[in-house]
Amino acid sequence: MLDPGVSEPPPGPIREPKPRLLDQVRREARSRHLSPRTEEAYVAWIRRFILHHGKRHPTEMGEREVSDFLSNLATSRHVSPSTQNQALAALLFLYKEVLRRQLPWLEGVVRAKRPTRLPVVLTREEVDAILRQIDGTPRLMASLLYGAGLRLLECCRLRVKDIDLQRGEIVVRDGKGGKDRVTMLPGSIREPLNSHLKRVRLLHQDDLSNGWGHVELPGGLVRKYPNASREWGWQWVFPATRRYHDAATRQWRRHHLHESVLQRLMKAAVRKAGITKPASCHTLRHSFATHLLERGYDLRTIQELLGHSDVTTTMIYTHVLNRGGRGVRSPIDKEP
C-alpha cells in the first residue's frame, strides 16, 4: 500500500478500442467524400477478399493473395472486367488509404481489359412505343431520361430548386464523378412537369400541416441550415409515397422514389412493346445522345449535356453515322 501521505498517481489515459477493419474502411471513405454506393461496394469487396482467404487479416497477406483473389473472380466467378477492376480498386483503397501500406506491387497489378461495346440504341418509334406502355409519374421520369439525357439516379434525385421551367433548364447536382452540369428541359415536358410539381407541393403542404415535411439534405447542410429540410425548394421532384423515420435527426422524412420502380416498369414496357433489344433505363440516355448526333449537333455540345469528362467517351455514339457498314452500299441493293 502507498503511504497515506503520498497521493496516488493519476490514472493513465483510457485507450479506446481500435475500430474494426471494415469500420475503418467506412470512416476513410466518408472522410474522402466517396459516394455511399462506392463505400458500400468497397466494404463488400474487402469482406469477400478476407473470407476468400479464411478470414486472415489483410496485413498478413500480400501480392499472391490479391492476385489469387482477382484470378478467382475471373476464372471461377466469371465476373466481367469492370467488376474485376472494381474489386481491385477496393483493395487498392484498403492497402493505401486504410492500412497506410506502401506496396509497390499493387501499382503493377494488371487491370482487366474492358471490351469495347456499342451502346444499345432505340429508334424514335421504339421510344414512343415504350413510353406509351408507362403511365403517371414513371412515364414523366422516363421522358426525362430520354428528353434530357439524365442518368436514372440523377432523375430520381432531382430537387425542386434544380428545375427552371422558365429557362427550360435542369441543373444536375453531384452527378457521376461529383460534377454539376446544366442540361435541357424539353418543351413538351414542361407542362406535364409543372402539373406534377403542383401535386407534389400539395403533398408537401399536407406533410407540413401534420408536423412532417422533412427531406434529407446533402453533406452538413442539415446542421448549417436546420430549417432547410422543410423548405419547398429542397424537396424531391419525385418523392416516395411512404415516409420514414430518421433515427439520427428524429425527423419524419420522404425519400425520393426508388430507382427500382422505374426499372421494373421499363422492363415490362419493353416486353409489351414487342422490342427485342435488351433495352433498359440507361438505353434512353444512349438514345438521347444518338438522336442528337443524327440531327447534326456537334460532339462538344452533346458532351456537355451528358456530363462526360472526355469527349472520347461521347465519341462512342458516332457509330450511328456509319450507316450500313460505314456508309458503304451493299451490291445487292439497287442504285437510287
CA angle at 279 for the pair 134 and 118, rounded to the nearest 5°: 150
Q: Which residues are registered as beta bridge partners of 181?
A: 172
Measured between alpha carbons, how far is 45 from 51 in angstroms, rounded to an integer?
10
Cell matching residue 206: 399536407
Check 176, 190, 243, 255 and give the catalytic one: 176
Q: How many CB atoms lie within 10 A of CB 14?
A: 5
282 is catalytic: yes
Q: What is the DSSP letter of 60?
A: G
Check 253, 285, 286, 291 and give the catalytic one: 285
Q: Which residues are registered as beta bridge partners of 182?
A: 171
Measured between alpha carbons, how far is 178 from 14 in angstroms, rounded to an integer?
40
Strands 181-184 and 239-246: unpaired
CA angle at 228 for the pair 165 and 247, rounded to the nearest 5°: 125
Measured between alpha carbons, how far is 201 from 291 in angstroms, rounded to an integer?
34
308 is catalytic: yes
272 is catalytic: no
Check 42, 95, 146, 317 and give the catalytic one: 317
Q: How many CB atoms lie within 10 A of CB 92?
A: 16
Q: Is 251 helix (H, G, I), strand (E, B) or coil?
A: strand
101 is catalytic: no
Cell matching residue 284: 434512353
Measured between alpha carbons, how far is 71 from 78 in angstroms, rounded to an integer?
10
Strands 181-184 and 169-172: antiparallel
For the chain, the farthest-separated pair of C-alpha atoms sits apart, in whole angstroms, at: 114
255 is catalytic: no
Dihedral sign computed on CA atoms, order 260, 315, 176, 199: negative
Q: How many CB atoms lie within 10 A of CB 311?
A: 12
Check 157, 204, 256, 308 and give the catalytic one: 308
176 is catalytic: yes
Check 53, 243, 282, 319 and give the catalytic one: 282
Check 26, 151, 254, 256 and give the catalytic one: 151
- Just list the catalytic residues: 151, 176, 282, 285, 308, 317
